């Protein structure tokens, strides 16, 4: 046989895992970058609009447009370089170590050596600086398009106009004064509304995806080794047999084994998506109840199925790779590279590895010989596993003992590692949401300083002023969160499809509590920011509303 390294399961598994991480890394940064870019655009635009008077003074004193733009570019470059430096330091140290340590649970890997690839490094720095410079130039040129005399005066407030709700008198007349003002302001400042909704949408979608990933990964273990697999151990025999050896019967009696079933198991291969995949073929006796050891049920309606005399039952991931459906025929090869064509009678639920189940009648039809047993499944042990394994080895009749508890422990270690990535995503999304909300709230207050001061002069209390300002932010946060939950469903499903390996199948389902967590975290962050900015509102001087702006 001529075999290359793609026929080595360890190599292909590691390569697939690397490809999945690479694919996920192309999804999440896009959302973070889009939200961050919107916030940077909004921040720089607002900062330059607030300094329109200074731009007007410089322009009237004879400074050229190039020099005025240069002064803001210099400020932007300093802030951008500092931010990029800190971000890259964290990106090159913390995140790679977390991800690399996860795969230490599945593979024997050398120590991580982080090397800076100058191509991606230059691309990240170049795009960031270019983005910030383009935004700055665009904002300054927009202001410089007006005459200096116009720039020296404050920007005229946007004209008020009737909103859609006002055209529904039955509804509008039941609004209080504050709610009418809130409705008008929301429709009046469309840019701020758009920025807030997009920012919250992206953060909520990322949070929901993180929680959805956690749901999928944490449920796999209980489903696979709790609801589908019921046996406690699999014992491999040295020689094929038709009955259980007396030595083994003595060990089983001593260990008070509840039930056993003798089967034939062989590792075979199937070719799909330009690769060979391992599949465990299990043949069961005709008169045995398989459901006591393995639950065979349909993925859609959870209906249990039986192994038929005219075909095999295969697992869902294998069917997906082959593109096979019920009543199709599939091809597999044994260790001697002999080809066998099998009829598929049912496709059952399974989440790790690939399995083919058949009975003794169909085994005899396919392989042309009577079935002999080489594996014993055991259910119910009344002794410690180490002592039981030692007794089996001492009997001289077994070659291997595989405990389900060991598989569960290995899976749990993998889940713990993956949870670290998930918590990293959740924390990063929460921090991004905090920055977005604080930025937009602070800008909202700065834009309306005179308006807020005027309200204070008119006799509004601090709590009334706060509710007047925060009501808009809260409504937009709730709206953005609901839209974000919808977007998060699609993002979660895409990430799950990308993250699946050839041997693992995810549920692609989000628990109801995860929707609640993503929504509540966003609302809580909004509430925390309102507490922070409440003191800024209290410090606004009422006299500022009486000052002339001319």
Q: For residue range 18-51, what is the model confidence (pLDDT) as tens digits? A: 777 777 777 777 777 777 777 777 777 777 877 8
- Please compute the mean of the pLDDT values over residues 324-336 and round it to a whole number: 90
End-to-end distance of the chain based on CA atoms, in angstroms? 90
Place of tokens 């009678």: 345
pLDDT of 1 reads: 57
Question: How far apart are the C-alpha atoms of 168 and 499, rounded to whole Å?
Answer: 49
Mean pLDDT of 480-499: 87
Least confident stretch, 9-23, 212-226, 400-414: 9-23
User: How many residues are there in the chain?
Assistant: 550
The phi-psi region of residue 442 (left if phi > 0; otherwise alpha if psi is between -120 and 50; otherwise beta) is alpha
β-sheet bridge partners, residue 143:
none
Two tokens, residue 333 = 């090869």
Q: What is the mean pLDDT of residues 117-121?
A: 80
What burial class does residue 358 get, using C-beta atoms within 10 Å of its C-beta: 0-12 exposed, 13-18 middle, 19+ buried?
buried
Strand partners, 356: 281, 314
pLDDT > 70 in the chain, percent: 95
Q: pLDDT class for 330, splitting at 50, 70, 90?
A: very high
What pLDDT sits at residue 98?
A: 77
Per-residue pLDDT, averaged over 480-489, amounts to 91
> 515 or 453: whose pLDDT is higher?
515
Whole-number CA gyration radius for the chain: 33
3-state secondary structure 350-379: CCECCEEEEEHHHHHHHHCCCCCEEEEEEE
Q: 379 — phi, psi (to 5°)? A: -130, 125
pLDDT class of 80 with cuts at 50, 70, 90: confident
Residues 145-182 have pLDDT tens digits of 888 888 887 776 666 667 777 777 887 788 877 777 77
Asked if the model's pLDDT at residue 280 lies above 80, the reply is: yes
pTM of the model: 0.78
Those residues with Cβ within 8 angstroms of residue 478's Cβ, 6 or more apart along the chain or in another chain: 523
Is 381 a residue whose pLDDT tops 80?
Answer: no
Confidence category of residue 345, pLDDT binned at 50, 70, 90: very high
Q: Which long-range contacts (CB under 8 A, 24 or more apart) does 143-149 make?
A: 143/48, 143/49, 143/52, 143/55, 144/55, 144/59, 144/65, 144/68, 148/56, 148/57, 148/59, 148/60, 149/56, 149/60
Give which of 323, 350, 330 is closest to 228, Cα–Cα. 350
Q: For the chain, give the mean pLDDT.
A: 82
Residue 272 bridge partners (DSSP): 275
Best CA proximity match to 16, nearest among 130, 106, 124, 122: 106
Nearest Cα to 406, choosing from 423, 390, 386?
Answer: 386
């Amino acid at each position: 046989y001529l075999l290359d390294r793609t026929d080595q399961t360890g190599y292909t598994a590691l390569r697939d895992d690397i490809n999945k991480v690479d694919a996920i890394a192309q999804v999440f940064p896009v959302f973070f970058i889009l939200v961050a870019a919107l916030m940077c655009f909004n921040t720089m635009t607002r900062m330059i609009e607030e300094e329109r008077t200074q731009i007007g003074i410089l322009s009237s004193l004879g400074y050229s447009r190039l020099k005025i733009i240069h002064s803001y570019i210099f400020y932007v470059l300093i802030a951008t370089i500092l931010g990029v430096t800190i971000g890259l330091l964290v990106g090159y140290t913390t995140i790679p170590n977390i991800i690399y340590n996860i795969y230490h649970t599945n593979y024997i890997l050398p120590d991580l050596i982080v090397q800076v690839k100058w191509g991606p490094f230059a691309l990240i720095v170049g795009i960031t600086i270019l983005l910030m410079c383009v935004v700055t130039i665009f904002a300054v040129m927009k202001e410089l398009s007006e005459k200096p005399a116009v720039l020296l005066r404050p920007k005229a407030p946007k004209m008020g106009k009737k909103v859609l709700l006002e055209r529904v008198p039955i509804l509008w007349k039941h609004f209080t004064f504050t709610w009418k003002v809130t409705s008008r302001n929301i429709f009046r400042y469309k840019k701020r509304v758009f920025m807030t909704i997009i920012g919250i949408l992206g953060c909520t979608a990322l949070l929901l995806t993180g929680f959805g990933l956690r749901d999928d990964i944490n449920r796999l273990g209980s489903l696979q080794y709790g609801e589908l697999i019921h046996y406690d151990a699999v014992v491999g025999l040295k020689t094929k047999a038709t009955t259980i050896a007396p030595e083994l019967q003595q060990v089983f009696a001593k260990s008070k084994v509840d039930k056993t079933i003798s089967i034939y198991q062989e590792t075979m291969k199937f070719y799909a998506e330009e690769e060979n995949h391992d599949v465990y073929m299990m043949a069961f006796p005709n008169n045995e109840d398989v459901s006591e050891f393995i639950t065979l049920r349909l993925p859609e309606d959870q209906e249990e199925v039986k192994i038929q005399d005219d075909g095999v039952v295969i697992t869902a991931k294998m069917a997906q790779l082959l593109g096979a459906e019920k009543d199709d025929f599939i091809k597999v090869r044994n260790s001697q590279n002999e080809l066998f064509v099998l009829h598929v009678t049912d496709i059952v639920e399974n989440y790790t590895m690939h399995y083919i189940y058949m009975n003794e009648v169909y085994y005899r039809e396919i392989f042309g010989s009577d079935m002999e047993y080489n594996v014993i499944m055991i259910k119910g042990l009344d002794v410690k596993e180490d002592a039981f394994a030692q007794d089996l080895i001492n009997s001289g009749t077994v070659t291997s003992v595989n405990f389900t508890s060991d598989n569960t422990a290995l899976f749990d270690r993998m889940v713990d590692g993956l949870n670290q990535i998930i918590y990293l995503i959740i924390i990063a999304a929460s921090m991004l949401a905090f920055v977005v909300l604080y930025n937009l709230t602070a800008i909202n207050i700065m834009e309306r300083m005179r308006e807020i001061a005027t309200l204070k002069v008119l006799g509004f209390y601090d709590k009334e002023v706060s509710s007047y300002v925060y009501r808009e932010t809260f409504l937009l946060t709730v709206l953005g969160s609901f839209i974000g939950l919808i977007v998060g469903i699609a993002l979660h499903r895409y990430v799950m499809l990308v993250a699946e390996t050839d041997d693992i199948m995810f549920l692609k389902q989000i628990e109801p509590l995860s929707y609640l967590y993503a929504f509540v975290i966003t609302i809580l962050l909004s509430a925390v920011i309102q507490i922070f900015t409440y003191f800024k509102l209290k410090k606004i001087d009422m006299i500022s509303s009486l000052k002339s702006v001319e």
